Amino acid sequence: MNTGSDEPQKPAEAPEGAKAEAEEARGRRGLGSRAPAFVRSRRVLHLGWQVGIFLVGLLVVIAGVVMLALPGPGWLVIFGGMAIWATEFVWAQLVLRWTKRKVTEAAQQALDPEVRRRNIALTLIGLVIVAALVGVYVWRFGLVPPWGVGGR
């Protein structure tokens, strides 16, 4: 068997330039339309496919925006709509990659012990301030709700 190596036990290795090209290709992989080949081969059909993908993605993103105000996983649905768009549009693929990279960076930063200590300290300070404001309100007005439902 020819492994491309003169040594019998050593497997062949790709030249350094080929490794760099493979990494670059891996970074670009997935950009562009994922429509079936028969759809991409016909311009009108492909345009209709893109319009359909855009409308479905738009509906999902709008539903996610509505869920930001109403109960539901708003951001998750918005990212789902972006993923639908990313199946067809390069701009959405790039935005999704950027978002994934930023979320990963934020998660790694949040796990940093120094940042965690700071966040815990800020949370405790905020809770003390809220407790003080509630205490002042109860001391000043008693346990009467501010919206006047008490039956007086």
Cα 40 from Cα 44, distance rounded (Å): 9
Cα 98 from Cα 101, distance rounded (Å): 5
pLDDT of 77 strictly over 90: yes
Tell me: the pLDDT tens digits for 93-124?
Answer: 898 899 889 989 988 887 888 888 998 999 99
For residue 37, the model assigns a pLDDT of 79
- Average predicted confidence (pLDDT) for the chain: 80
Task: Please state the φ and ψ torsions of residue 145, each to the nearest 5 degrees.
Answer: -65, 145
Average confidence (pLDDT) over 23-32 = 57
pLDDT of 38 strictly over 70: yes
Helix (H, G, I), strand (E, B) or coil at 37: helix
Question: Is pLDDT larger for residue 142 or for residue 69?
Answer: 69
For the chain, what percentages of helix, strand and coil (3-state, to nearest 5) are there? Answer: 70, 0, 30
For residue 1, the model assigns a pLDDT of 45
The CA dihedral of 33, 34, 37, 39, to the nearest 10 degrees, is -70
